[in-house]
Amino acid sequence: MTGAVRLPSRRSRPLAPTARVRRLRRRITLLFALTSAVGLIAMAAWAVRGDDVRWRDQLDRTMSADTNWALGLLETDADGRLDTGVLLDAAGTACPPLHLLSVPPDAARGARRTAPADLVVEHAPSEPCLTVGGAAVRRAAAAAVNADEERSLDGRTTTGEPVRLFALPFYPPEAEEDTRPQGALVTVADTAAQQAGHRRLAWRVTGGCALLVCLSALVGHLLSGRAVRPALEALDRQESFLADAAHDLRTPAASLRTLAETALRGDTDSTDVHRRTLRLAEGMGSLVDGLLTRARLMSGTAVLAVEPLRLDQLVEAVVEDAPTDGHRVTVEAQEAVVVADPDLVRRAVANLVGNALVHGRAPGAPAEVEVTVAADGPSTTVTVEDAGPGLPPEVAGALFDRFRSGSRSTGLGLSIASWVAHAHGGSLTAGPGRCGGARFVLRLPNGERPSAEG
């Protein structure tokens, strides 16, 4: 029984190098944003918490001052019972509400904790501005009595408004140090305004943190892009080199195979086959050397092998070696000397001439190509003009991109010529010719050593 071939799942397929670099960029951006978010959230929580503690402490200090002032007006009679007459006469206890609660004598003498229910309400305002349930007032008073110090807690009025309750314990006259409190004064303050301000601050801090996190994510994305850009450029150069090598070696490799098959059949003279094979091998070697040189130049590991060069002689030699095959190529060259890499310039000119011979003619008709070398101020131009159908408008803008040509075929000749021009500090332009065909102008500077960057 034959088993089915199991294809790798989509998740297990390895990512392309460019995709891995882009995924790394996304991870760096995410890490940068998460780090910023953690720090900002911690700072925001600290700021919000600090504001909450601040307004509560400020309110407690104000309530403590009012309660201590009221405590100074509280008196006791000869029997030790509380006398609230002076307090009621001298201070209004309705706003802020002031409650007076006392501990029963038997509970005050005992060591057990005082329960809220044990407290006796000595005074409660009849018409307070803030009405708070008696249970909340008793809890605040019991907390102060049992802790033997002032206490505050949050609560709500009977209508649900937020308030702050502050309880201050008091002692009988001439009390000893270990005497338990006789009772507690409880006052109430409205906290709606403070809590509203605190919520506004919290929302502002939250919004500011969200904005800063987004900004940090954007900055992280830009910085990570700058960090991975050299890797992406290196990968692009690698892919460009592989594509150029495959394109330029495909034709001579096919020719070698044809020659080998012909030699095996014995259809031609073996000496002629060997001679043609040798020429192809030499041409392939030159192509490989040129591609490797371009790859090294683009990666910045090598410099252009520039030297003074008779450009007119080089162009004439390129035209002589071009496979005209019935086409007519005329050369009009002025004596011109440039400082350039001979091999690369020869390759660029050969590509332009070859492009004109292939595409610069009508179907079935011979090509007519004019090549002109002329000095133009600080630079020298090589103009290649044909009498063909011209450049289609849809490819004019991308004519020097890799794998584009005027006839919609794949190719690298024009893109390589453009790269050679820019590597020498020159340019390559295309436009309509005088006879309706295409006109390519290769411009190279005179007398200066060009940079290898291009």
User: Residue 410 — very low, low, confident or very high, per pLDDT cuts 50/70/90?
Assistant: very low
Mean predicted confidence (pLDDT) in 134-151: 91
170 CB-side CA count, 13 A: 23
Q: For the chain, what percent of residues have pLDDT higher than 90? A: 26
Residue from 293, 251, 254, 259 nearest 277 by CA: 259
Q: Is the pLDDT of residue 167 over 80?
A: yes
User: Residue 300 — very low, low, confident or very high, per pLDDT cuts 50/70/90?
Assistant: low
Q: Is the pLDDT of residue 306 over 60?
A: yes
User: Residue 166 — very low, low, confident or very high, per pLDDT cuts 50/70/90?
Assistant: very high
Q: Is the pLDDT of residue 333 over 80?
A: yes
- Which tens digit of pLDDT belongs to each residue from 264-296? 777 666 777 777 778 777 777 767 766 676 666
Question: Which letter does DSSP use for residue 377 in this model?
Answer: T
Angstrom CA distances, 208 to 30, 35, 324, 443, stand at: 19, 16, 72, 55
Mean predicted confidence (pLDDT) in 216-233: 86
Mean predicted confidence (pLDDT) in 395-420: 59
Angstrom CA distances, 150 to 55, 115, 154, 258, stand at: 18, 17, 14, 105
User: Residue 313 — very low, low, confident or very high, per pLDDT cuts 50/70/90?
Assistant: very high
Percentages of the chain per state (helix, strand, coil), in multiples of 5? 50, 20, 30
State phi, psi for 211 to the nearest 5 degrees: -65, -40
Q: Is the pLDDT of residue 246 over 70?
A: yes
Evaluate whether 299 touches 234 at the Cβ level (below 8 Å): yes
Give bridge partners of residue 370 from the DSSP assignment.
330, 385
Q: Is the pLDDT of residue 107 over 70?
A: no
Q: Check residue 111 and give its pLDDT.
A: 56
Q: Is the pLDDT of residue 454 over 90?
A: no
User: Residue 55 — very low, low, confident or very high, per pLDDT cuts 50/70/90?
Assistant: very high
User: Residue 435 — very low, low, confident or very high, per pLDDT cuts 50/70/90?
Assistant: confident
User: Residue 13 — very low, low, confident or very high, per pLDDT cuts 50/70/90?
Assistant: low
Evaluate whether 438 touches 332 at the Cβ level (below 8 Å): no
* 333 vs 11 pLDDT, higher one: 333
Mean predicted confidence (pLDDT) in 197-203: 93
Alpha helices in 110-191 (DSSP H): 134-147
User: Residue 42 — very low, low, confident or very high, per pLDDT cuts 50/70/90?
Assistant: very high
Query: What is the amino acid identity at position 3?
Result: G
What is the C-alpha radius of gyration for the chain, rounded to an integer number of angstroms?
47
Q: Is the pLDDT of residue 368 over 70?
A: yes
pTM of the complete model: 0.53
Q: Is the pLDDT of residue 335 over 60?
A: yes
Q: Check residue 168 and give its pLDDT.
A: 92
Determine which of 164-178, 191-205, 420-434 has the lowest per-residue pLDDT on average: 164-178
Q: Is the pLDDT of residue 110 over 60?
A: no
Q: Check residue 453 and give its pLDDT.
A: 46
Mean pLDDT across the chain: 81
